[in-house]
Chain A
Amino acid sequence: MILDGLGSFLLGVANFQWTNAVMIAVGCGLLYLGIKKQMEPLLLIPIGFGAILVNIPLAGLMEKDGLLRYFYEAGVLTEIFPCLIFVGIGAMTDFGPLLERPRILLLGGAGQFGIFLTLLLALLLGFDKLEAVAIGIIGACDGPTSIYVTSKYAPHLLGAVSVAAYCYMSLVPILQPPIMRALTSKKERQIVMKYEKKAVSKTAKIVFPIAVTVITGLIAPMGTPLMGTLMLGNLLRESGVAERLVKASQNEIANIVTLLLGISIGATMAGPAFLQPQTLMILGLGLVAIFLDTAAGIFLAKMMNWLSGGKVNPLIGAAGISAFPMSARVVQVEGQKANKRNYLLMHAMGANTGGQIGSVLAAAVMLSLLKGMGIV
């Protein structure tokens, strides 16, 4: 009797497998990146800790009636968490620089090129159609969109796709500069772009989120939950009369959901399911997607430079991804390295907010095409 009681203390140890040990090490690695390197700490810390929790044998956190299972089913599988995060992002984003120069929005489209080429690569590597869609969406450089699409169509890949999306987003300042330097000449990087602030009326800023929601909703309705929540947050911000809701969206809601979302994603990283060759392939494909996004944005900006007679610095094309505002800052730094008189930040901010719209739109178009093709 006493021995049985003592034996129960060792059940966890007895059920501990090498995959659990590896995943606890991976969880610690994510905690290190979040805490020591301050890479997306708000997400990598909960994800890392979630990965540790779910790899403790017999704790049952992801079993039926387990604590993390409740969070996962209530927030991730229902897609509530990514949509609530988008309300917060919308409330934090100023689309003013984009409204000042609408043509820059196209750079936000070119920045999504990586999504589709990565999807093709994933198909060639043997992933099935919906898995390839989930992997391609890493190229959106947009965590909530990646989680939304993956939880909907390939939930078994959620851990790998989310970790890839958030890690690469935080690595943008390291990943993008070498590509930017390789694809542009010093003369191109030195191009000075004049910035004259064009005032945008408050009414235009209020009508903008409504117009975007209706237009994109009518053309690509499957993406309305994402675009709608992003634009709802922005409408609250620009209305100027819902300060409490704006603050709640930017702070309380975004913070609580980020915590629960992070820990739920970490909870999908159980050893046997995560330690598969396909996880490494997903991480590799995600990296390819970011490279392709950056390259496509730069090439479109080069074309705009050519068409405008040398007035567009091709570096701003690299900001056409959704990693906001890191990507715009990288462009500013690289521009100043080439020419100290160069201030590309506001142009890059416009492209970067265009990338936010572009990433959601690319996902919306893709989901609507899948529906139209009868795949979902």
Chain B
Amino acid sequence: MENLEFGLTLTLFGMGGTLVILFLLGLVMDLLNKILPFREEKDKVG
């Protein structure tokens, strides 16, 4: 019973936590693309 409780806790919070953090990272990537947009000439020189 203790093992099952441990497993279910880890599954619920582990999977949930992983998806939430990945969602957060996705938002950060969106933000990066918005505040640091691709500029052809500048990037070519850089």
Answer yes or no: are A and B bound together in one complex: yes
Chain A contacts to B: CB under 8 angstroms: 98-99, 102-103, 105-106, 108-110, 112-113, 115-117, 119-120, 123-124, 129, 132-133, 198-204, 207-208, 211-212, 215-216, 219-220, 354, 357-358, 361-362, 365-366, 369-370, 373, 375
Q: In whole angstroms, how far apart are the Cα atoms of A99 and B11 in the complex?
A: 28
Taking A208-B32, A215-B25, A365-B14 as known contacts, 13 extra A-B pairs with beta carbons closer than 8 A to each other, sorted by chain A number, are A103-B26, A105-B22, A106-B23, A120-B11, A124-B7, A129-B6, A132-B7, A198-B33, A203-B36, A204-B33, A216-B21, A357-B22, A366-B14
CB closest chain-B residue, reference A375: B6
- Contact yes or no, B36 A215, CB < 8 A: no
B18 to chain A, nearest CB (A): 5
Specify which chain A residues have a CB less than 8 angstroms from the CB of B13 in the assembled complex: 365, 369
Known contacts A123-B6, A132-B7: A369-B26 contact under CB 8 Å: no
Kindly state the interface size class of chain B when it binds its partner: 20 to 34
- Secondary structure of the B side of the interface? helix
Q: In whole angstroms, how far apart are the Cα atoms of A182 and B19 in the complex?
A: 25
A138 to chain B, nearest CB (A): 15
Residue of B4, B19, B25, B38 near A199 (CB, 8 A) is B38
Which of the listed residues B8, B22, B40, B46 has the most CB atoms from chain A within 10 Å of its own CB?
B22
Known contacts A102-B30, A204-B33: A109-B18 contact under CB 8 Å: yes
Specify which chain B residues have a CB less than 8 angstroms from the CB of A358 in the assembled complex: 18, 22
